[in-house]
Structure 1
Amino acid sequence: MSAIRTAVDEERFVVTDRLTRKLQSLGTPAFRPEESEAGSVGPALLCPIGPDDWALAAEAAAAQGCRWAAGWGDSQGESWVVNALLEKSGDYLLLRTVLPPGRNDLPSQTPLFPGAARPERHTRDLLGLDFTGHPDGRRWVRHQAWGEREFPLRPDFPLAGCPPAVTAPDRGYGFASAHGPEVNEIPVGPVHAGIIEPGHFRFLAVGETVLNLEERLGYVHKGIEKLAEGRDPESLAQLAGRVSGDTAVGHAWAACQAMERAAGVEPPERALWLRAIFAERERVANHLNDIGAICNDTAFAFGYYQFSRLRELWLRDNLRWFGHRLLMDRVVPGGVAVDLPEEAASGMQAAIAALRRELDELKPILDEGTIFQDRVVGAGVLPERIARELGCLGYVARACGIGRDVRERAPHAPYDRLGVKAVVRGDGDVAARLYVRYGELHASLDILEECLRRIEPGPLRTDWRNPSEHAEGLGLVEGWRGEIATYVRFDGAGRIARFFPRDPSVFNWPALEKLILGNIVPDFPLCNKSVNGSYSGHDL
């Protein structure tokens, strides 16, 4: 393995060295370290192993303290290819196994990595792979829209499917139950009194105290992975920006990064700085929205109005300077679609200064609001141990003292020149998740000012060149909710053969089931908003 390392990389591959040596000691097929292209997928070191060693590999990874970061399946000919992305201290390792024709079972890694539970169920439901030893055999994605032997992501399944005239009600899902004269079962959703997307929450409570919460998501399966097949890079970037509308920049950047790595395309310097500007503006807009929404769920109307007003002004500037409030389709393969207008360079500096002043004025109001503090301090506490077990990301993890941030731990350009430091708190409650967001607002404003100082004139886009058949890439971007991991593989015509985007919400949604325990039912909206998982980013 040392043959593929440089002196600069020496420290980064320490963890993957240990893990790979352990895997090789198990008798797994060793990759050829002298062939660097065969030994990596983007920033992740590729480690092929045999199917029978899949569980042993998980044991080795768990023993090294790795985080299970993503998992997906891929159909190639008559064989299934299954991937698991692992991370520790900014190093990434991609475990890969190939199931021979006729075999569709693989040991589950969920017993060692609880965060793998829903992704493995997703792969099982869409591809028909069987993860033996998985603790939950219930459908997760398909609900009742497909038959028992229909798997929508298989190559022979039509994009539109074969939907019945009326889909059967999903009444057979086996929610956890409890019995007793004082135990109440409270169903919430999937249809909500508002414009949010559908999700079902089943509470068990004694009086108002929550004993158990179980989520049921996946009601709007959009078919993103199937829709991506056969698209050209430009079209895939557009689709990626719509995985979760509030993360248009983050998902598009991760998809473009993956495609560019597969094709060997380097975006121009100016484009990289503009991408960072777009990403930080997206982070600011969403944190302002969430802080206001948390205020709203504590009946603190003044805070809700003020942060909503600040977000609206910020989004109007996006529209005025870059042509779209949510910055959709601004990140494209090879660069960016729009430049920084001359009036934006000075106008953005003034807007940053104005927002910073208002944030400084509002924070003491939040800090000194007795009723507000009574609601957020100590509510929805997520222990650090559980956050680590689930693989939580973004502000959910950082509020528990876990400093996971791609911009710091595995920085890509231009963040590798910015010295970003994760904003971390240790209490793990609603207040901690709010104040991490507050700290990240100031950090993003600092980053934006640095980007404006360092951006230089230059081209916005590099000419695209089609990658070779089976070329693959992995994109890793710190979206505003946390780490986004995106995988792409190309066919022989330069079009997409496989696209898998993993939103951070996949690992943060399960945390909501844990942090609500022992709280009262009326605090659920507050706890839910403090996590603010994306239904759309989850329901591919």
Structure 2
Amino acid sequence: MSRFAWLPDFRARLQAAGIDAHDVPVPAPTQSLALASADWGPAAAVAAEHGCRWAGMWADADAEHMRLYCVLEYAGDHLLLSGETPLTAPEFTSQTPHYPAADRLERHARDLFGVVFTDHPDARRWTRHRAWPETRHPLHPDASADAPAPGRTPADADYPFVPLQGNGVFEIPVGPVHAGIIEPGHFRFHAAGEPVLRLEERLGYVHKGIEHLAVGRDPAALARLAARVSGDSAVAHAWAACQAMEHAVAARVPPRALALRGLLAERERVANHLGDIGAICNDVGFAFAHLQTARLRERWQRRNRDCFGHRLLMDSMVPGGVARDLGAAQIATLGADHTALRRELTPLFDILDDHPPLEDRLVGTGVLSAEDAKALGCVGYMGKASGQSFDLRRDAPYAPYDELQVTAVAETEGDVAARVRVRMAELLDSLDLMDRLLDTLPGGEIVAELPAAAPGAQGLGLVEGWRGETLAWVRFGDEGHIARYFPRDPSWFAWPALERLIHGNIVPDFPVCNKSVNGSYSGVDL
């Protein structure tokens, strides 16, 4: 199917539903339609019926208007919907009744911008907790930038978790502070005996003000900030932000830089999949696999430091290219590393594929159905393990992947074991992709200067990170500085999936279910 060949049919469906949609010029590779605020929810109903995947939403505002943006994906194309209201009456109909994935992002926009969703099914706070008064929305244009600091934020002790009552039903509160050295998040279980009847999450404890910190930055400073949205996805978020800025100004990135970006993204994927595979095994007592993958990951990340300056590849992406080049000796070393890692993974993966005690704990545990994965918009290993095989590198390829063959990885069982198998398959495929990138690495420059950005220029970045599709939207203000930045991590969709897949599992299986999801707290606690 050619790019956006489905769009006329979609527009006809909107028109048949009484929805007037106007074309809005935006930079490639997306197209955009503008809607009335009252049509925001009904348009989502049409999109859901058409089969579009809901891929994210954010708010933006100026002195006079409140705007919402939403991304829909269909057949590898990403359509940007926008809606506008006067700032004095920022009311929109909700998309949550038609896309459950929209729930938390709409609540996030309500908390920080003061957007009113007239028919949203959940009126509870999400991001704000109790750091600001109910009447203050920190990203609303009328919120005073020099307002006095609120002091110590009161504990969010009165958050109204949904009660579940019945004979023998009891609650188990877990977190927000955990036994391990991990980020904070609260999990409220309802159980009858050991089987879990309901799980509800409360996140937002590491809200950092990323969206506010972005305002006024130059492109290089925004790339540095983006790399810190979620530390394990430094490449994915920085690349998405750079790509958004480059689309906004129609920049041409050198081919060598694009190939090196692909190499960096695959190195990030390998490191994290190694860590997750071992951690999942360790959570069910199979420490042998954890020890082996930890050893391999440490060696891999030390090579990151040697070749690219940072174990987690922080600040390796810059607007217009990459920060470091590779010499011939480094290229040979990386190629040898790929061969060595394959050699060590082959017997290890054979053990994981056929180890009955491990299978007993992973097979059939934490099943996310294909229906739930689709409804929640799950991407990456979460979606692929439940029959949703979408991968930007293959289905909406961008350079350098448009000249590579990315293997279609998909499982149907949707359990912890399937999520491990997806990680193993992606890891091996990444080694093949990196070999091809090194073998065909173009010559030339590794960075190009960005053209000057006109005030109001905007761009959308989409990158297949190791967790899946990672999105960034950027709008420039005056003098080439950033006026608005929004990063959408795949974890916005993975966390609600954890609430679904734990149903019917026993409480002691929660750690391995949680680790198999491995959602980023930081990635959603913006």
TM-score past 0.5 threshold: yes
The residue aligned with 1:31 is 22
Give the superposition deviation at 1:159. 5.3
Change (3 A) 1:181 1:53: closer
Give the superposition deviation at 1:23. 2.5
Unpaired segments of 5 or more residues in structure 2? none
The residue aligned with 1:67 is 53
For the residues of structure 1 that align with 2:229 and 2:85, how far apart are their CA atoms? 29
* Counterpart among 282, 291, 297 of residue 305 in structure 1: 291
Which amino acid counterpart does residue 270 of structure 1 have in structure 2? R
The residue aligned with 1:351 is 337
For the residues of structure 1 that align with 2:15 and 2:367, how far apart are their CA atoms? 41
1:11 aligns with 2:2: yes
For the residues of structure 2 that align with 1:46 and 1:178, how far apart are their CA atoms? 43
* Counterpart among 208, 224, 230 of residue 244 in structure 1: 230
For the residues of structure 2 that align with 1:21 and 1:13, how far apart are their CA atoms? 14
For the residues of structure 2 that align with 1:159 and 1:334, how far apart are their CA atoms? 32
The residue aligned with 2:127 is 141
Unpaired segments of 5 or more residues in structure 1? 1-9, 33-37
Q: Give the alignment's TM-score, normalised by structure 2.
A: 0.98
For the residues of structure 2 that align with 1:310 and 1:254, how far apart are their CA atoms? 28
1:74-122 deviations in whole A, cap 9, x for unaligned?
Answer: 0023110111111112111111111034211110000000000000000
Which amino acid counterpart does residue 263 of structure 2 have in structure 1? I
For the residues of structure 2 that align with 1:338 and 1:158, how far apart are their CA atoms? 41
1:463-489 deviations in whole A, cap 9, x for unaligned?
Answer: 122111100000000000000111000
The answer as to whether partners of 2:112 and 2:127 remain within 8 angstroms in 1 is yes
The residue aligned with 2:385 is 399
Change (3 A) 1:237 1:463: same
For the residues of structure 2 that align with 1:456 and 1:79, how far apart are their CA atoms? 46
Q: 1:190-201 alignment to 2 at 5 Å?
A: 190-201=176-187
State the SS of the aligned residue for 1:413: coil
For the residues of structure 2 that align with 1:210 and 1:41, how far apart are their CA atoms? 47
Moved more, 101-110 or 18-27: 18-27
For the residues of structure 1 that align with 2:145 and 2:351, how far apart are their CA atoms? 52
The answer as to whether partners of 1:67 and 1:87 remain within 8 angstroms in 2 is yes
The residue aligned with 1:3 is none
Moved more, 237-246 or 318-327: 318-327
The answer as to whether partners of 2:26 and 2:458 remain within 8 angstroms in 1 is no
The residue aligned with 2:89 is 103
Which amino acid counterpart does residue 128 of structure 2 have in structure 1? R
1:342-367 deviations in whole A, cap 9, x for unaligned?
Answer: 22111111110111111101012112
The residue aligned with 2:511 is 525
Change (3 A) 1:159 1:289: farther
For the residues of structure 2 that align with 1:183 and 1:160, how far apart are their CA atoms? 48
Q: 1:72-151 alignment to 2 at 5 Å?
A: 72-151=58-137
Which amino acid counterpart does residue 197 of structure 2 have in structure 1? L
Give the superposition deviation at 1:168. 1.8
Give the superposition deviation at 1:209. 0.6
The residue aligned with 2:488 is 502
For the residues of structure 2 that align with 1:212 and 1:355, how far apart are their CA atoms? 41
The residue aligned with 1:7 is none
Which amino acid counterpart does residue 399 of structure 1 have in structure 2? A
Moved more, 364-373 or 67-76: 364-373
The residue aligned with 1:46 is 32
For the residues of structure 1 that align with 2:467 and 2:109, how far apart are their CA atoms? 23
1:264 aligns with 2:250: yes
Give the superposition deviation at 1:160. 7.2
For the residues of structure 2 that align with 1:180 and 1:437, how far apart are their CA atoms? 39
The answer as to whether partners of 1:271 and 1:460 remain within 8 angstroms in 2 is yes
For the residues of structure 2 that align with 1:167 and 1:265, how far apart are their CA atoms? 43
Change (3 A) 1:245 1:101: closer
* Counterpart among 370, 375, 381 of residue 361 in structure 2: 375
Give the superposition deviation at 1:151. 0.4
1:425-445 deviations in whole A, cap 9, x for unaligned?
Answer: 110000000000000001000
Which amino acid counterpart does residue 515 of structure 1 have in structure 2? L
RMSD: 1.3
For the residues of structure 2 that align with 1:146 and 1:304, how far apart are their CA atoms? 42
The answer as to whether partners of 2:305 and 2:311 remain within 8 angstroms in 1 is yes
Give the superposition deviation at 1:29. 4.6
The answer as to whether partners of 1:424 and 1:436 remain within 8 angstroms in 2 is yes
Which amino acid counterpart does residue 390 of structure 1 have in structure 2? L
State the SS of the aligned residue for 2:512: helix
Q: Give the alignment's TM-score, normalised by structure 1.
A: 0.95
The answer as to whether partners of 1:378 and 1:430 remain within 8 angstroms in 2 is yes
State the SS of the aligned residue for 1:80: strand
The answer as to whether partners of 1:152 and 1:161 remain within 8 angstroms in 2 is no
For the residues of structure 2 that align with 1:320 and 1:506, how far apart are their CA atoms? 33
1:154-213 deviations in whole A, cap 9, x for unaligned?
Answer: 234355753333322212111122234521210000001121100000000111110000
For the residues of structure 2 that align with 1:30 and 1:114, how far apart are their CA atoms? 23
For the residues of structure 1 that align with 2:301 and 2:21, how far apart are their CA atoms? 50
State the SS of the aligned residue for 1:93: strand
How many residues are aligned here? 526
1:20 aligns with 2:11: yes
Which amino acid counterpart does residue 51 of structure 2 have in structure 1? G
State the SS of the aligned residue for 1:14: coil
Change (3 A) 1:501 1:161: farther
The residue aligned with 1:285 is 271
1:255-299 deviations in whole A, cap 9, x for unaligned?
Answer: 000000001111100000000000000000000000010011011
The answer as to whether partners of 2:198 and 2:499 remain within 8 angstroms in 1 is yes
State the SS of the aligned residue for 1:525: helix
